[in-house]
Amino acid sequence: MSSNDAVNITGFASVPEFARGLVRDLRVRWALEEAGVAYQAKLLAQGEQKGPENLRVQPFGQVPAFGEGRIEMFETGAIVLHIGENCETLLPKDPAARARATSWVFAALNSVEPYLTQIAAIDIFHAGEAWTRERRPQVEASARERLGLLADWLGDRDYLEDEFTAGDLMMTTVLRILRHTTLVTERPLLAAYQARCEARPAFQRALAAQLADFAAND
Protein backbone atom coordinates (compact mmCIF):
# COMPACT_ATOMS: atom_id res chain seq x y z
CA MET A 1 0.00 0.00 0.00
CA SER A 2 1.24 3.45 -0.86
CA SER A 3 1.90 5.81 2.02
CA ASN A 4 0.94 8.71 -0.28
CA ASP A 5 -2.62 7.65 -1.02
CA ALA A 6 -5.42 8.14 1.49
CA VAL A 7 -7.40 5.01 2.27
CA ASN A 8 -11.17 5.18 2.24
CA ILE A 9 -13.74 2.52 3.02
CA THR A 10 -17.51 2.50 2.94
CA GLY A 11 -19.78 1.37 5.75
CA PHE A 12 -23.27 2.00 7.00
CA ALA A 13 -24.22 5.02 9.08
CA SER A 14 -26.66 2.91 11.06
CA VAL A 15 -27.85 -0.69 11.23
CA PRO A 16 -30.20 -2.60 13.57
CA GLU A 17 -28.74 -3.68 16.89
CA PHE A 18 -28.38 -7.33 15.86
CA ALA A 19 -26.03 -6.35 13.03
CA ARG A 20 -23.72 -4.05 14.97
CA GLY A 21 -20.26 -5.56 15.10
CA LEU A 22 -21.08 -7.87 12.21
CA VAL A 23 -21.17 -5.54 9.20
CA ARG A 24 -18.33 -6.61 6.94
CA ASP A 25 -16.45 -3.33 6.93
CA LEU A 26 -15.27 -4.53 10.36
CA ARG A 27 -13.00 -6.99 8.58
CA VAL A 28 -11.34 -4.23 6.58
CA ARG A 29 -11.08 -1.92 9.57
CA TRP A 30 -9.39 -4.71 11.53
CA ALA A 31 -6.91 -5.42 8.75
CA LEU A 32 -6.05 -1.73 8.46
CA GLU A 33 -5.55 -1.53 12.22
CA GLU A 34 -3.22 -4.55 12.14
CA ALA A 35 -1.28 -2.88 9.33
CA GLY A 36 -1.15 0.50 11.10
CA VAL A 37 -2.84 2.22 8.16
CA ALA A 38 -5.06 5.23 8.80
CA TYR A 39 -8.36 5.34 6.94
CA GLN A 40 -11.53 7.34 6.54
CA ALA A 41 -14.97 5.76 6.55
CA LYS A 42 -17.64 7.02 4.20
CA LEU A 43 -20.92 6.14 5.86
CA LEU A 44 -23.94 5.33 3.73
CA ALA A 45 -27.56 5.59 4.75
CA GLN A 46 -29.63 2.46 4.18
CA GLY A 47 -30.47 2.38 0.48
CA GLU A 48 -27.50 4.45 -0.64
CA GLN A 49 -25.47 1.29 -1.19
CA LYS A 50 -27.74 0.58 -4.18
CA GLY A 51 -27.19 4.02 -5.65
CA PRO A 52 -25.10 4.71 -8.76
CA GLU A 53 -22.09 6.10 -6.88
CA ASN A 54 -21.61 2.94 -4.82
CA LEU A 55 -22.52 0.62 -7.69
CA ARG A 56 -19.67 2.14 -9.67
CA VAL A 57 -17.17 0.59 -7.24
CA GLN A 58 -19.26 -2.19 -5.68
CA PRO A 59 -21.21 -3.94 -8.46
CA PHE A 60 -23.54 -5.74 -6.04
CA GLY A 61 -24.52 -2.70 -4.01
CA GLN A 62 -22.92 -3.76 -0.76
CA VAL A 63 -20.38 -2.49 1.76
CA PRO A 64 -17.52 -2.21 2.12
CA ALA A 65 -15.83 -0.76 -0.89
CA PHE A 66 -12.17 0.24 -0.60
CA GLY A 67 -10.29 3.08 -2.21
CA GLU A 68 -6.58 3.85 -2.22
CA GLY A 69 -5.55 6.33 -4.89
CA ARG A 70 -6.29 4.70 -8.25
CA ILE A 71 -7.04 1.36 -6.58
CA GLU A 72 -10.71 0.62 -6.05
CA MET A 73 -11.73 -2.74 -4.62
CA PHE A 74 -14.68 -4.68 -3.31
CA GLU A 75 -15.12 -8.02 -1.51
CA THR A 76 -13.58 -8.26 1.93
CA GLY A 77 -11.35 -11.23 1.19
CA ALA A 78 -9.68 -9.43 -1.70
CA ILE A 79 -9.35 -6.21 0.29
CA VAL A 80 -7.80 -7.93 3.32
CA LEU A 81 -5.30 -9.74 1.11
CA HIS A 82 -4.41 -6.45 -0.57
CA ILE A 83 -3.78 -4.83 2.80
CA GLY A 84 -1.76 -7.86 3.83
CA GLU A 85 0.65 -7.45 0.94
CA ASN A 86 2.53 -4.93 3.06
CA CYS A 87 1.74 -6.30 6.50
CA GLU A 88 3.66 -9.39 7.64
CA THR A 89 1.24 -9.88 10.51
CA LEU A 90 -1.52 -10.59 8.01
CA LEU A 91 0.53 -12.27 5.28
CA PRO A 92 3.91 -13.64 6.43
CA LYS A 93 6.96 -13.03 4.29
CA ASP A 94 7.79 -16.74 4.08
CA PRO A 95 6.12 -18.03 0.88
CA ALA A 96 4.88 -21.25 2.45
CA ALA A 97 3.35 -19.46 5.44
CA ARG A 98 1.84 -16.81 3.16
CA ALA A 99 0.25 -19.50 1.01
CA ARG A 100 -1.31 -21.14 4.05
CA ALA A 101 -2.64 -17.80 5.33
CA THR A 102 -4.19 -17.12 1.94
CA SER A 103 -5.76 -20.57 1.93
CA TRP A 104 -7.38 -19.90 5.29
CA VAL A 105 -8.85 -16.62 4.08
CA PHE A 106 -10.62 -18.51 1.31
CA ALA A 107 -11.54 -21.35 3.66
CA ALA A 108 -13.28 -18.93 6.01
CA LEU A 109 -15.24 -17.38 3.17
CA ASN A 110 -16.00 -20.50 1.13
CA SER A 111 -15.88 -23.50 3.46
CA VAL A 112 -17.30 -22.05 6.68
CA GLU A 113 -19.20 -18.78 6.20
CA PRO A 114 -21.95 -20.08 3.86
CA TYR A 115 -22.98 -22.67 6.46
CA LEU A 116 -23.13 -20.12 9.27
CA THR A 117 -24.94 -17.40 7.35
CA GLN A 118 -27.75 -19.83 6.57
CA ILE A 119 -28.42 -20.18 10.30
CA ALA A 120 -28.35 -16.43 10.81
CA ALA A 121 -30.71 -15.87 7.89
CA ILE A 122 -33.21 -18.38 9.25
CA ASP A 123 -33.03 -17.16 12.84
CA ILE A 124 -33.07 -13.44 12.14
CA PHE A 125 -34.87 -12.88 8.86
CA HIS A 126 -37.18 -15.89 8.64
CA ALA A 127 -37.92 -16.69 12.29
CA GLY A 128 -41.26 -18.40 12.72
CA GLU A 129 -41.84 -19.18 9.06
CA ALA A 130 -43.23 -22.65 8.52
CA TRP A 131 -40.50 -23.86 6.17
CA THR A 132 -37.77 -23.26 8.78
CA ARG A 133 -39.06 -26.04 11.06
CA GLU A 134 -37.69 -28.68 8.72
CA ARG A 135 -34.83 -26.71 7.21
CA ARG A 136 -33.11 -25.33 10.31
CA PRO A 137 -32.09 -28.71 11.84
CA GLN A 138 -30.48 -29.64 8.53
CA VAL A 139 -28.64 -26.33 8.31
CA GLU A 140 -27.50 -26.59 11.93
CA ALA A 141 -26.19 -30.12 11.38
CA SER A 142 -24.09 -28.93 8.44
CA ALA A 143 -22.76 -25.99 10.44
CA ARG A 144 -21.90 -28.23 13.38
CA GLU A 145 -19.94 -30.51 11.07
CA ARG A 146 -17.90 -27.59 9.74
CA LEU A 147 -17.29 -26.23 13.21
CA GLY A 148 -16.21 -29.66 14.39
CA LEU A 149 -13.69 -29.98 11.59
CA LEU A 150 -12.37 -26.51 12.38
CA ALA A 151 -12.03 -27.40 16.07
CA ASP A 152 -10.25 -30.63 15.13
CA TRP A 153 -7.75 -28.65 13.09
CA LEU A 154 -7.11 -26.16 15.87
CA GLY A 155 -6.42 -28.81 18.48
CA ASP A 156 -3.94 -27.23 20.87
CA ARG A 157 -2.94 -24.46 18.44
CA ASP A 158 -3.46 -20.84 19.39
CA TYR A 159 -4.12 -19.93 15.76
CA LEU A 160 -4.88 -21.70 12.50
CA GLU A 161 -1.17 -21.79 11.70
CA ASP A 162 1.96 -20.91 13.69
CA GLU A 163 1.04 -17.24 14.15
CA PHE A 164 -1.98 -14.99 13.77
CA THR A 165 -2.60 -14.17 10.09
CA ALA A 166 -5.27 -12.81 7.78
CA GLY A 167 -6.80 -16.28 7.87
CA ASP A 168 -7.51 -15.91 11.58
CA LEU A 169 -8.89 -12.42 11.07
CA MET A 170 -11.35 -13.68 8.50
CA MET A 171 -12.26 -16.84 10.39
CA THR A 172 -12.95 -14.91 13.59
CA THR A 173 -15.31 -12.50 11.86
CA VAL A 174 -17.10 -15.49 10.34
CA LEU A 175 -17.51 -17.20 13.73
CA ARG A 176 -19.03 -13.98 15.08
CA ILE A 177 -22.01 -14.58 12.80
CA LEU A 178 -23.20 -17.21 15.30
CA ARG A 179 -23.03 -14.97 18.35
CA HIS A 180 -26.82 -15.23 18.75
CA THR A 181 -26.43 -19.01 19.24
CA THR A 182 -24.33 -21.32 21.43
CA LEU A 183 -22.83 -23.20 18.48
CA VAL A 184 -19.38 -21.66 19.01
CA THR A 185 -19.43 -21.19 22.77
CA GLU A 186 -20.34 -24.84 23.37
CA ARG A 187 -17.01 -25.80 21.78
CA PRO A 188 -14.35 -24.57 24.24
CA LEU A 189 -11.56 -24.74 21.65
CA LEU A 190 -13.43 -22.50 19.23
CA ALA A 191 -14.68 -20.16 21.93
CA ALA A 192 -11.15 -19.69 23.27
CA TYR A 193 -9.77 -19.21 19.76
CA GLN A 194 -12.35 -16.54 18.94
CA ALA A 195 -11.77 -14.77 22.25
CA ARG A 196 -7.99 -14.86 21.70
CA CYS A 197 -8.31 -13.20 18.31
CA GLU A 198 -10.88 -10.67 19.49
CA ALA A 199 -8.57 -9.68 22.35
CA ARG A 200 -6.07 -8.26 19.87
CA PRO A 201 -5.79 -4.48 20.24
CA ALA A 202 -6.32 -4.01 16.50
CA PHE A 203 -9.66 -5.81 16.66
CA GLN A 204 -10.75 -3.80 19.67
CA ARG A 205 -9.91 -0.54 17.89
CA ALA A 206 -11.74 -1.63 14.73
CA LEU A 207 -14.84 -2.69 16.63
CA ALA A 208 -14.88 0.49 18.70
CA ALA A 209 -14.60 2.61 15.56
CA GLN A 210 -17.51 0.84 13.85
CA LEU A 211 -19.71 1.04 16.92
CA ALA A 212 -18.80 4.71 17.43
CA ASP A 213 -19.95 5.49 13.88
CA PHE A 214 -23.29 3.81 14.56
CA ALA A 215 -23.69 5.62 17.86
CA ALA A 216 -22.97 8.97 16.23
CA ASN A 217 -25.84 8.40 13.83
CA ASP A 218 -28.47 7.05 16.22
Q: Which tens digits make up the pLDDT trace of 144-160?
A: 999 999 999 999 999 99
Q: Name the segment(s) of the chain with CATH classification 1.20.1050.10.
A: 95-200
For the cut 80, the answer to whether the pLDDT of residue 143 exceeds it is yes
**Cis amide prior to 92 (ω within 30 degrees):** no
Q: How much is the average pLDDT of 42-71?
A: 96
Global pTM reads 0.95
Task: Look at strands 71-74 and 65-68 and give their pairing.
Answer: antiparallel
- Yes or no: is domain 7-89+202-213 CATH 3.40.30.10? yes
Cα–Cα separations (whole angstroms), residue 13 to 6, 54, 59, 215: 21, 14, 20, 9
Phi-psi category of 61—alpha, beta or left, where left has phi over 0 and alpha has psi -120 to 50?
A: left
Q: Name the segment(s) of the chain with CATH classification 3.40.30.10.
A: 7-89+202-213
**Rounded to whole angstroms, how far apart are CA atoms 96 and 161?**
11
Q: What pLDDT is stored for residue 3 in this prediction? A: 54
- Give 218's pLDDT tier (boundaries 50, 70, 90): confident
Architecture per CATH, domain 95-200, reads as Up-down Bundle (1.20)
Beta pairing partners, 42: 10
**Rounded to whole angstroms, how far apart are CA atoms 203 and 33?**
7
Specify the DSSP element, H or E, that contains 99.
helix 95-106
Task: State the chain's mean pLDDT as an integer.
Answer: 96
Q: How far is CA 105 from the centre of its chain?
A: 10
Q: What pLDDT is stored for residue 2 in this prediction? A: 55
Between 3-12, 25-34, 102-111, 185-194, the lowest mean confidence (pLDDT) is in: 3-12
The more confidently predicted of residues 3 and 66 is 66
pLDDT tens-digit map of 82-99 = 999 999 999 999 999 999
Q: What pLDDT is stored for residue 60 in this prediction? A: 97
Q: What pLDDT is stored for residue 5 in this prediction? A: 79
Q: What pLDDT is stored for residue 1 in this prediction? A: 62
| Helix, strand, coil percentages for the chain (3-state, nearest 5) | 60, 10, 35
pLDDT tens-digit map of 1-51 = 655 679 999 999 999 999 999 999 999 999 999 999 999 999 999 999 999
